[in-house]
Structure 1
Amino acid sequence: MKEGKILSEPKVKVEFSLEGLNLDPEYVTKKIGLKPHIFYKKGEIAQNHKPYKQGCWSIIVPYEVSYDISVQVEKLFKMIRDKKEIILEVKKMYKGDVILSVVIEVENQTIPGVTFENQHITLLAELEADMDVDILLIS
């Protein structure tokens, strides 16, 4: 280790999203009973000054230091596990998509374990969800 250099620990963020062409995030919030961290309707203007092409409702476990992503994934799944039927109903109603996104920030080659427990994989399959894992190398 170089003198004076502070090694950074890996950080993990997990996001669960419902997306659909005409998805109404207010309806989804009422139906699911969880306040989203991110939400918007088709046509609203994004930060890049372009309109969103579809609606979105997302809950997030924000960045945390982690050496195994399953810790953050479990925190998120605790929020949605008992809402499977409602999520499926909303997904069908809006002909939407369910997406689990995991973002890992890595510095100094310290990479956390990437483990998905069987119960998480099963729920994702039952929701017909897509999964995305991004690893961001910070230098």
Structure 2
Amino acid sequence: MDTNQGRVYFALDGDNFDPDEVTKFIGIEPTSIMRKGSKAGGKLPKKSSWTVSTENVVNEYIDVFDMATEIINVLKPKKDLIIQAIAKFKVKPRLEVVLWFSVNEEHSTPAIGFETETVSFLGEIGAFIDIDTYKH
């Protein structure tokens, strides 16, 4: 691939919870779910997860600021329910950034950062940020 690619997602991860119950509890339809021990892409997941994700963006310019804000805007109205779900289902909240960098030197590298509102929301719910980067 000759251009940058990326996505941002929010996940609730844990050992023994039913992602469908999280969906009912929070009232947000996830982009995807995984169940511990079920075949997913040929692998057995070690944890269950409930995920809300942006679309995968393929572009010369990737803006993590905007993608993270998009996810937080979906979650903010349900903040109290998310905090309750973290305790009830014993899950860990995570904001994940996944980026593939073009090796084409004419392309800019992705803008990686987070708005104050995003950082505040993640702090309030006890989430951490993980950034994975890859070269094409």
TM range (shorter): 0.7 to 0.9
Residue 47 to residue 12, structure 1, CA distance change in 2 (3 Å): closer
| Pairing partner for 2:47 from 54, 58, 67 | 54
Aligned to 1:77: 72
1:24 aligns to 2:22 (yes or no): no
AA at the equivalent of 2:73: K
Larger Cα-atom Rg: 1
SS at match of 1:16: strand
RMSD: 1.8
TM-score, normalised via structure 2 length: 0.86
CA distance in 2, matches of 1:27, 1:99: 18
Is there any run of 5+ residues in structure 2 with no aligned partner, and where?
none
Residue 40 to residue 68, structure 1, CA distance change in 2 (3 Å): closer
Aligned to 1:3: none
Aligned to 1:43: 37
Residue 118 to residue 26, structure 1, CA distance change in 2 (3 Å): same
Bigger drift between 64-73 and 54-63 goes to 64-73
Aligned to 1:128: 126
AA at the equivalent of 2:54: V
Q: Is the 8 A contact 1:102 1:132 kept in 2?
A: yes
Is there any run of 5+ residues in structure 1 with no aligned partner, and where?
1-5
AA at the equivalent of 1:54: K
SS at match of 1:39: strand
CA distance in 2, matches of 1:79, 1:112: 23
CA distance in 1, matches of 2:38, 2:62: 37
CA distance in 1, matches of 2:2, 2:29: 35
TM-score, normalised via structure 1 length: 0.84
Q: Runs (4+) of structure 1 moved beyond 3 Å?
A: none
